[in-house]
Amino acid sequence: MSESALIQGAALGAVRGERVLFRDISVTVQAGDLVLLRGANGSGKTTLLRQLAGLSPPQAGEIERTETHHWVGHSNGLKAHETPRTHLEHWARVWGSEASIPDILREMGLRRPSEVPSGMLSAGQKRRTALARLKLVARKLWLLDEPFNALDRDGQALLVDMIAGHRADGGAIIAALHGTAPIEATREVVL
Amino acid sequence: MSESALIQGAALGAVRGERVLFRDISVTVQAGDLVLLRGANGSGKTTLLRQLAGLSPPQAGEIERTETHHWVGHSNGLKAHETPRTHLEHWARVWGSEASIPDILREMGLRRPSEVPSGMLSAGQKRRTALARLKLVARKLWLLDEPFNALDRDGQALLVDMIAGHRADGGAIIAALHGTAPIEATREVVL
Amino acid sequence: MWTILANPHRFMGFSKVAIPIVIGLGVLLSGWSLYQGLWVVPPVPNQGGDIARAMFIHVPSAWLCMGLYGGLAISSFVWFIWRHELADVAARAIAPIGAGYTALCFATGAIWGEPTWGKAWRNVILYDSRLMSVLVLLFLFIGYMALRAALDTRQKGARAGAILAMVGLINLPIIKFSVDLWKESTIHQPSSVIRFGEAAAESSGIHPVFLVPLMIGFLGQVLLSSGLIMLLMRAEIFGQQADAVLARRLNEA
Amino acid sequence: MTPAPLVTAFRQALSEAWASGAGILLPMGFFTGTAMLVPFTLGDEAETLSKIGPGVLWLALALASLVTLERVFQADLQDGALDLWAQEEASISLIALTKTIAHWLISGAPLILMAPVLGRLLGVPFEEMAPAMLAYGLGGLTFFLWGGVAAALAAGVARAGLLIALIAIPFFVPAIIFGTLSLSEGFDGSAILFLGASTLFALGVAPAAMGAALRLAAE
Amino acid sequence: MTPAPLVTAFRQALSEAWASGAGILLPMGFFTGTAMLVPFTLGDEAETLSKIGPGVLWLALALASLVTLERVFQADLQDGALDLWAQEEASISLIALTKTIAHWLISGAPLILMAPVLGRLLGVPFEEMAPAMLAYGLGGLTFFLWGGVAAALAAGVARAGLLIALIAIPFFVPAIIFGTLSLSEGFDGSAILFLGASTLFALGVAPAAMGAALRLAAE
Ligand code: HEM
Ligand SMILES: Nc1ncnc2c1ncn2[C@@H]1O[C@H](COP(=O)(O)OP(=O)(O)OP(=O)(O)O)[C@@H](O)[C@H]1O
Ligand SMILES: Nc1ncnc2c1ncn2[C@@H]1O[C@H](COP(=O)(O)OP(=O)(O)OP(=O)(O)O)[C@@H](O)[C@H]1O
Ligand SMILES: [Mg+2]
Ligand SMILES: [Mg+2]
């Protein structure tokens, strides 16, 4: 495995039902990379991302990880009774984060709904809460599945900044994305 | 109520918790209109749309409807055990639709996953299935909440065509949307 | 032997030949023992007379249903560790057969109990430790099948089923123990055949007149059930192959 | 209003109930299982079994209605299907009613078939069987209707299992009383009539309540 | 591995259980409700009440474990929380264990406090109360552990109520037997020890099974 690679997937493959979703896909990510997973609906971006995250074992190929990563999938991982604040406090405790939750909430534009149970939050507010987890602890690798979904203009600008900043700090991102990327990517993996 | 208006909301308002989400919003839609609901995350687009759909009573103002409408909200309305085919067949029966399900599935690019239970579908395939309901029966008014979410390029082009076609046939659409609209709107309502 | 059969194709080849033989032999032997049991041997003394002829179905099925759960758990284990597809196919095939024999054991026993255990039997039927352990066994089988039926993909069904079967197996002793503790006094037969070997002299031992056809019948049932299991396995494998072909056509189209 | 929506809702609910696990085998196993657990809880009181046997089946029936209906409306709310129904002219009350009946057919009615066997195991005298089957049928339907109301009321709540039970239990009481009586009285007693009456009452009142609760949940 | 994740998971589960339904009042109401139902199912057999009373509480406890846990893991799967847990170093088995214990504390343990009252209600002799409370405690925990395994196995299934019950029933048997026996034997009997042993066994085995099942569900 090449030095400095944060994660390396070689000749990955996935089968669903009797159908081969993708085969022989290789992904290598160095510090500062932004790798975009492209492909039509149902082409297997989420599946690949979950393999890279270690959520489902690849049906073919090898994955080598050097770092723990952050995960923001299609579903935000909020429990119905959690508010944005309690959700962040929860994971801050799990990850032993020192970060100031109020600051993060402000930065993510969640100050106002910070006490609203996630069941009543708007789609974009839920998404912002999930993305706010990225700020709790510094992890080199981010795995994001259509992170811009449901975000408004400010939200998208915010996320673009977060991504740029993360790359500048020597972090890397693998993201599944549709449409025109609002940010320059290092490489695209097409499924 | 002005002639030819498909739906008319006057001086609508909504309160959530202690907070006034929006007040004094008026929406009138004629045949051929595409009205976009704009606003930041949590500004109340979904809330307004649900009021117009009659799902929740407006806390202020009046709504007059002349037509039944189609609804595609944030959640797709698929049951876990349904496949795209059974879902469409189900609503076709409810609405007494004559349309050919196989054709619709093909047009929506759902031929291949047509037999996959929705629990295993990809995000975009679920969205496409929900949008496919619009083709079952002709209804003048469509209410769509961020319809482009999770769609790939083809999917978005497909939806743009559907919307254009619907307007050409004298239909109208009210849609909540973020970012740059891929299609020219008649009017924008900003919350 | 297993390593040879491990490969599905070899299994298909083997079973194609084996099934008719095994089933035929099984039917023959169990048929003979039934004939012996129902017409030839004298009525069992102090066991309800003629009704006790139920023994020739009851006892073999009783032994078999225990053995079959073992088989289910073992093949689940093999699949879980070595991901041996055939083992999963086997587990899947064993479940219904095992459930069937468990039900058969219970049914024949119940019929047998009616006259033998007398009027009180109605309340007794659920008040006997051994009867209860059979019921519990039945539930382990049914639960396994229900779980597999509920999960959407074969892979998931296989793994979930395997976990359940293994957890069930390690619980079995405790369940059995608790049930025995619950009613240390069972009105049911002590297992006299098991004892038969060393305690042949004892009067409680079953007389060879019954024992021989009983054992032959047991052997026959073993053959019969294994034949049926292989049959189901073949059906399963065929089904999977058919799915594969169909799907390939779909994808090419 | 055309019956089409109801028929279709009924079909969907049937396939839903069926899909989520092994169809009719499941409730049958459930009832047998509950019946099987009872003797253990009695210790040495063998002779009491036949006395309480029928009553235990009533409890099993009540449980079945609760565990079955818990998720039905909650799922409709979460996956957005409720929004779709709420916008039909077809009254949501009737939809809810058809769904409830469908789920009763799959998860409650099997007890009618099981009654003879289970009754035998639990030592219910044979002559009581026919009235018992009728009683379990009517009673079960009543349970499911009230259970449905409770489930609809709790649809918005995150994990409503116990809550539903709590709401529903008081409504179960009449059905249980009349049901138990009609088992002992048989057909010639009046209890079976009262049971039928309580079922009709539930049929009349529950749908409206479910509808209202669901509209509320959809808001 | 630091204990932080477990402690936090425990807190979260507690607040989850608490939030979704009136906290501890709910289970208390539930147990009281079930206890109330029993006399009705007995018709005129009033004198048998004290015999079956404790047993019925066992069934109520079993049911509570099932309806509570059904949603827990299914919700984790649907809202994506399971994905997050599955990527922690903290073993998912231990997480599942902590969650189960937390839910038992809220939905099962209250029966320990209720036992004296309900026991009185159901005519359980007073001197049996102390062992009863211990037994309901241990037995309830065992139910929740095995119920958790069943719920985890069925987490992917849409509406799994009955399925979970069916899977769990055989595993409930030992706890029910030992529990009932220890009620009659009191402290001097060996049953209470066996009950404790079976609880320990469940504590040892169930978490691994839950973990494996949840990993499977997350895939
Ligand atoms: C529902 C009712 C019954 C069930 C579930 C049942 C279950 C079993 C089981 C599990 C065994 C094998 C145990 C062993 O061999 O150690 C067995 C064996 C046997 N059962 Fe039953 N039984 C039932 C009723 C009866 C009745 C009513 C009789 C006769 C009075 C009977 C007579 C026997 C005999 C003679 C054996 C063979 C014992 C031996 O030699 O091992 N069973 N039964
Ligand atoms: N049991 C199954 N049988 C057949 N196909 C299946 C099965 N389970 C999943 N699939 C298919 O696997 C694919 C999953 O793809 P995935 O969710 O990774 O797509 P994606 O690239 O993330 O799409 P999207 O852009 O819509 O999110 C889908 O096409 C789905 O139809
Ligand atoms: N109980 C409550 N207390 C306070 N605020 C609430 C409560 N319930 C809902 N809200 C707020 O109401 C708003 C609902 O907005 P809505 O979902 O309509 O937003 P939206 O415009 O659709 O946003 P998005 O673009 O993210 O979908 C959110 O800001 C939410 O925080
Ligand atoms: Mg995806
Ligand atoms: Mg919205």
User: Does residue D2 belong to the interface with chain B, where contact is any CB pair within 8 Å?
Assistant: yes
Instruction: Please indicate whether, in this complex, the C-beta atoms of B154 and A40 are within 8 angstroms of each other.
Output: yes
Count Cβ neighbours within 10 Å for each residue of C211-242 and write b for 16 or more, e otherwise.
eebbbbbbbbbbbbbbbbbbbbbbebbeeeee
Chain Cα centroid distance, residue B24: 23
| Cα dihedral across residues D169, D170, D175, D176: positive or negative | positive
| Average pLDDT score over chain C | 80
In E42-159, which ranges are continuous DSSP H helix? 49-79, 81-86, 92-107, 110-121, 129-153
Total Cβ atoms within 10 A of residue E126: 9
Give the residue among B72, B66, B32, B33 at the shortest CA–CA distance from B49.
B72
The pLDDT assigned to B161 comes to 95
- Band of the pLDDT at C199, cuts 50, 70, 90? very low
Q: Read off the pLDDT of residues B107-152 as tens digits, 9 standing for 90 and up.
A: 999 999 999 999 899 999 999 999 999 999 999 999 999 999 999 9
By most ligand atoms within 8 Å of CB, the mutation choice from B16, B20, B51 for ligand 3 is B16
Q: Do B79 and D84 touch (CB under 8 A)?
A: no
pLDDT given at position B84: 96
What pLDDT was estimated at residue E66? 82
Q: Is the CB–ligand 2 distance for residue B116 below 6 Å? A: yes
Contact E185, D43 (CB under 8 A): no
The stretches of B39-189 forming alpha helices (DSSP H) are 45-52, 84-95, 101-107, 123-132, 153-168
In this predicted structure, what is the pLDDT of residue A83? Answer: 93
Report DSSP state, residue B8: E
| Residues 6+ away with beta carbon under 8 Å from B137 | B95, B96, B97, B99
Mind listing the pLDDT tens digit for each residue in C18-51?
A: 889 999 999 999 888 888 877 777 766 655 566 6
Rg of the Cα atoms in chain C? 21
E44 pLDDT above the threshold of 70: no
**Which residue in the block uniquely carries the two structure tokens 């084996």?**
C18
State the Cα–Cα distance between residues C217 and C230, nearest whole angstrom.
Answer: 20
CB contact residues (below 8 A), chain C span 124-153, against chain A: 153
C126 and D26 within 8 Å at the Cβ level: the answer is: no
Average pLDDT of the residues of chain D: 82
Q: Which residues of D107-146 are buried (b: 16+ CB within 10 A; e: fewer)?
A: bbbbbbebbeebbbbbbbeeebbebbbbbbbbbbbbbbbb
Chain D residue with minimum CA distance to B78: D79
Q: Which of A164-178, D167-181, E122-136 tops mean pLDDT?
A: A164-178
**pLDDT score for C6:** 64
Residue D19 confidence class, pLDDT cut points 50, 70, 90: low
Residue C122, pLDDT > 70, answer no
Structure tokens at B44: 């109340």
CA atoms within 13 A of residue A160's CA, in its CB half-sphere: 12
CB contact under 8 A, B56 and D218: yes
- Using the Cβ of D158 and the Cβ atoms of chain E, whether some distance falls under 8 Å is answered with yes
Mean pLDDT over each residue of chain A, to the nearest integer: 91
Mean of per-residue pLDDT scores for chain B: 91
Nearest-CA residue for atom 6 of ligand 2 = A16
Ligand 3 in contact with A125 (CB < 6 A)? yes
Mean pLDDT of D17-34: 74
Instruction: Please check the confidence at residue A102 and state whether its pLDDT lies above 80.
Output: yes
- Quick one: which H or E segment has residue B60? strand B60-65
pLDDT digits over E169-215, tens only? 999 999 998 988 888 787 787 888 999 999 999 999 999 999 999 99
Q: Relative to the alpha carbon of A150, which ligand is closest? A: 3
Residue whose structure tokens are 């985890």: E152
Beta bridge partners of B71: B143
Q: Residue A19 and residue C251: Cβ atoms within 8 Å?
A: yes
Identify any residues that bridge with D15 across adjacent strands, giving them in sequence order: none
Q: E150 CA to middle of ligand 2, Å?
A: 27
Test mutation, C151, C152, C155, chain B, max B CBs within 10 A: C152
Cross-strand bridge partners of residue B72 = B144
Per CB-CB distance under 8 Å, the chain B contacts of E158 are 79-81, 119
Taking the Cβ of residue D158 and every Cβ of chain A, the question of whether any pair is shorter than 8 Å is answered with yes
Question: Which DSSP category does B152 fall into?
Answer: -
Give the ligand with the smallest distance to the CA of B178: 3
Count of Cβ atoms closer than 10 Å to residue D89 Cβ: 8
Torsion of CA C14, C20, C25, C28, to 10 degrees: 170
Q: Quick check: D25 pLDDT over 90?
A: no
Scanning every residue of chain A, which has its alpha carbon at the shortest distance from the alpha carbon of B19? A112
* Mutual angle of helices E25-41 and E92-107, in 10-degree steps: 60
pLDDT number for residue C203? 45
Contact by Cβ (8 Å): E96, E30? no
Cα–Cα distance for residue pair D112/A105, rounded to 1 Å: 57
| CA–CA dist E39, D65 (Å, integer) | 20
Residue C235 or residue D50, greater confidence: C235
Task: For D21-75, give the DSSP string.
Answer: TTTTHHHHHHHHHHHHHHHHHTTT-GGGHHHHHHHHHHHHHHHHHHHHHHHHHHH
Q: Is pLDDT at E102 greater than 50 in this prediction?
A: yes
Q: What is the mean pLDDT of residues E146-155?
A: 94
pLDDT at A182: 81
Distance C97 CA to ligand 5 centre (A): 53
Structure tokens at A46: 């989420």
How long is chain A? 191
pTM comes to: 0.89
How would you class B65 by CB atoms within 10 Å of its CB: exposed for 0-12, middle for 13-18, buried for 19 or more? middle
Q: What is the ipTM of this complex?
A: 0.88
More confident residue, E12 or A44: A44
Q: Is B64 in a helix, a strand, or coil?
A: strand
Concatenated DSSP letters of E38-57: HHHHTTT-GGGHHHHHHHHH
Q: Are D69 and D99 in contact (CB under 8 A)?
A: no
Is the CB of D29 less than 8 angstroms away from the CB of C142? Answer: yes
Q: For residue B20, list its beta bridge partners.
A: B15
Q: How far is the CA of C150 from the centre of ligand 1 (A)?
A: 33
Name the band, by pLDDT with cuts 50, 70 and 90, for residue B100: very high
Q: Which of the four pLDDT bands, split at 50, 70 and 90, describes residue E29?
A: confident
Q: Hey, is the C-beta of D49 within 8 angstroms of any chain E C-beta?
A: no
Record: contact C246-A18, CB cut-off 8 A:
yes
Check CB contact of D121 with chain B, cutoff 8 Å. no
Could you tell me the pLDDT band of residue E8, with boundaries at 50, 70 and 90? confident
Question: Tens digit of pLDDT for each residue in C129-138?
Answer: 777 888 889 9
> Which pLDDT value is given to residue C4?
52
Residue by residue, DSSP assigns chain A as --TTEEEEEEEEEEEETTEEEEEEEEEEEETT-EEEEE-STTSSHHHHHHHHTTSS--SEEEEEE-S-EEEE-SS----TT--HHHHHHHHHHHHT----HHHHHHHTT-SGGGGS-GGGS-HHHHHHHHHHGGGTS--SEEEEESTTTT--HHHHHHHHHHHHHHHHTT-EEEEE--SS-SS--SEEEE-
Structure tokens at D201: 């009452």
- For D172, half-sphere exposure in the C-beta direction (CA atoms, 13 angstrom radius) is 32
Quick one: pLDDT band at residue C200, thresholds 50, 70, 90? very low
Task: Bin A176: left if φ > 0, else alpha if -120 < ψ < 50, else beta.
Answer: beta
pLDDT tens, position by position, C209-232: 778 888 888 999 999 999 999 999
Six-digit token string for B30 = 């004629």
| Closest chain C C-alpha to B151 CA, distance in angstroms | 22
What confidence tier does C197 reach under pLDDT thresholds 50, 70, 90?
Answer: very low
pLDDT, tens only, D203-215: 999 999 999 999 8
Q: In chain B, positions 171-190, which contact chain A (CB-CB < 8 Å)?
A: 178-179
pLDDT tens across A35-77, in order? Answer: 999 999 999 999 999 999 999 989 889 999 888 899 999 999 9
More confident residue, A61 or D161: A61
For residue E161, is pLDDT > 90? Answer: no
- Identify residue E180 by its one-letter amino acid code: T
- Side by side, the strands of the sheet bearing B5-16 are B19-30, B5-16, B60-65
Output the pLDDT for position E214: 94
Which pLDDT score is estimated for D165? 73
pLDDT of residue C52: 67
